Amino acid sequence: SQQGEEDPQALSIQEGENATMNCSYKTSINNLQWYRQNSGRGLVHLILIRSNEREKHSGRLRVTLDTSKKSSSLLITASRAADTASYFCATPASGGSYIPTFGRGTSLIVHP
Amino acid sequence: GAVVSQHPSWVICKSGTSVKIECRSLDFQATTMFWYRQFPKQSLMLMATSNEGSKATYEQGVEKDKFLINHASLTLSTLTVTSAHPEDSSFYICSASPTTDQETQYFGPGTRLLVL
Task: Dump pLDDT digits (tens) for A77-106.
Answer: 999 999 999 999 998 876 566 788 888 899
Cβ-based contacts of B112 with chain A (< 8 Å): 40
Closest-approach residue (CA) in chain B for A87: B43
Nearest to A104 among B42, B93, B105 (CB): B42
More confident position, B98 or B93: B93
pLDDT at B51: 87
Best of A37, A43, A108 to substitute, by most chain B Cβ atoms within 10 angstroms, is A43
Cβ-based contacts of A31 with chain B (< 8 Å): 103
| Alpha-carbon distances of B1 from A44, A49, A61, rounded to whole Å | 12, 20, 19
Q: What pLDDT band is residue A75 in, cutting at 50, 70 and 90?
A: very high
Q: What pLDDT band is residue A23 in, cutting at 50, 70 and 90?
A: very high
Percent of chain B at pLDDT exceeding 90: 73
Q: Which is it for strands A106-111 and A10-14: parallel, antiparallel or unpaired? A: parallel
pLDDT at A29: 87
Residue A1 confidence (pLDDT) above 60: no
The SS3 call for residue A82 is helix
Cβ-based contacts of B91 with chain A (< 8 Å): 40
Q: Mark yes or no for CB contact B43/A103 under 8 Å.
A: yes
What average pLDDT does range A48-71 have in this prediction?
95
What average pLDDT does range B61-79 have in this prediction?
93
Cβ-based contacts of A35 with chain B (< 8 Å): 107
**Helix (H) / strand (E) containing B98:** none
| Alpha-carbon distances of A36 from A84, A105, B84, B97, B106, rounded to whole Å | 9, 9, 29, 18, 12
CA atoms lying within 13 Å on the CB side of residue B63:
8
Distance from C-alpha of A83 to C-alpha of B14, rounded to nearest angstrom: 37
Within 8 A by CB and 6+ apart from A97, the residues are: none
Closest-approach residue (CA) in chain A for B49: A99
What average pLDDT does range B99-116 have in this prediction?
90
Q: Mark yes or no for CB contact B41/A107 under 8 Å.
A: yes
Residue B23 near residue B33 (C-beta atoms within 8 A): yes
Residue A2 confidence (pLDDT) above 90: no
Distance from C-alpha of A38 to C-alpha of A108, rounded to nearest angstrom: 10
pLDDT at A95: 59
